[in-house]
Amino acid sequence: MALDIEKVLNNAEVLAERAPSPLARGLQGSAILKIAAEVRALRATGASVGNFTIGDFNPEIFSIPQAFKERIKSELDAGQTNYPPAVGIPELREAVRGFYADRLGLDYPEGTVQVGAGARPPIFAAFKTIIEEGDVVVYPVPTWNIRYYVYLNQAVGVPVVTQPENGFMPTAGDLLPHLPTARLIVLNSPLNPCGTVIAENLLREICEAIVAENERRMPLGERPLMLLYDQVYWQLTFEGYTHHTPVDLVPAMAEYTVLIDAISKCWAATGLRVGWAVAPPWIRGRMAPLVGHMGAWAARAEQQATAAMLNEPSEIDAFMVEFKGAVKRRLQILRDGILALKEQGLPVDCLDAQGAIYLSVRFDLEGGDEAIRRRILQEAGIALVPFTAFGYPEGTGWTRFSVGAVTERDIEDALTRLGEFLRQA
């Protein structure tokens, strides 16, 4: 007979307050996951909900490249199931370097690539390598989960509020007042949650300012100001827009930049967990033990298959034509529908779809952003995420629509319901 553990756990409430560390007690969960749970609960009642919340893909709509799937199976059949090196297998590290040289014009030397189980472990390891308790981390908002990494490192976060006219990207002027005290700046392009791409002139000005700040620090013996540049969505940059890296615009930034990348979004492979950082050797060398002690390496078979794909860019190109086209069509249908509602005088607007899988949509309605979100969910059957979930100020009406888990018909149906809702609202 099995032991009834529930009877033993009679001090659960007391221990929940006393046992975890203060750091664990203060860490908040994802606001997006809470919304997702609300959507599941509504669907369980039989309600029809258009789910535009998650930054993920429905595999029944967007599958990984067939060649990638076959390579993973082949590697598993070949017995590639043991521990990989903590830094990543040599074949993948070399393939990343070759792919960056070919596609981004960046010829990084050996010793600069750190592989991890998706982008998160390299991001966490980069923070742990660069940041000490009390260091200042500057990051624009809205942004993905950076504030949680700031908290986990007990750093001082300085969120910089951006404006829609700049695609919610910061300017050098936004960041300049914070540079003398900052230890790390975090940027992301194409941007989650906004689906926008940082303009070349904005990125160049920011990088020139970082280089100038480090030139000031060097003779004083001060620790350098580093840039974490998340470019996970760069292969999903749409026609008419160009992805740039800090290093290709200002080569001196190679000393101060950690590039973050992964297969998760560009190959619809979010659950396969292969990502990497490309960084100066003095950073990369300190990241490997961290990733190793976390056990946060990518599975060997997936690493081998990723390396093979990167070494056959024509296969990637063939997949991306169809995949990126399907994502862009969804975003375009959504954007065109939103703008058509705006032309009817309804209180809604949006930005252009520039990259990634997101569209920035603004609702000019009474009430707070969370109240607006709930009304749209309850009355229109549309689940979305307000920018407040990404650290943006309350009361702007800006929201994120994600199209990775919806069909074109889903979008058209949602637009019909949204129009009916706005006419009544």
Reported as a single tens digit per residue, the pLDDT across 122-159 is 999 999 999 999 999 999 999 999 999 999 999 999 99
Kindly indicate whether the domain formed by 5-63+318-424 is annotated with CATH number 3.90.1150.10.
yes
- CATH 3.90.1150.10 maps onto the chain at 5-63+318-424
Q: What is the mean pLDDT of residues 156-168?
A: 97
pLDDT at 12: 67
Q: 251 to each of 255, 271, 284, 312, how far by Cα in Å? A: 9, 34, 18, 27
Q: What is the pLDDT of residues 174-188, one digit of tens each?
A: 999 999 999 999 999
pLDDT tens, residue by residue, 37-86:
888 888 888 878 899 998 999 999 999 999 999 999 999 999 999 999 99
Average pLDDT score over residue span 8-24: 77
Helix, strand and coil percent figures for the chain, each rounded to 5? 50, 15, 35
pTM for this one? 0.95
b/e sequence 128-150, b meaning 16+ C-beta within 10 Å? bbbbeeebbbbbbbbbbbbbebb
> What single-letter DSSP state applies at residue 28?
P
User: Quick count: other Cβ atoms within 10 Å of Cβ 413?
Assistant: 16
Residues 373-403 pLDDT 10s: 999 999 999 999 999 999 999 999 999 999 9
pLDDT on residue 188: 98
- What is the end-to-end Cα distance of the chain in Å, rounded? 59
Lowest mean pLDDT among 2-6, 106-110, 162-166, 261-265: 2-6
HSE, CB side, 13 Å, CA atoms: give it for residue 45.
9
Q: What is the CATH number of domain 82-312?
A: 3.40.640.10
- The answer to whether residue 236 scores a pLDDT higher than 90 is yes
For the chain, give every residue range classified as CATH 3.40.640.10.
Answer: 82-312
Instruction: Please report which confidence band the pLDDT of residue 16 belongs to, taking 50, 70 and 90 as the band edges.
Output: confident
Residue 292: how many other CB atoms lie within 10 Å:
15
Q: Are 276 and 262 in contact (CB under 8 A)?
A: yes
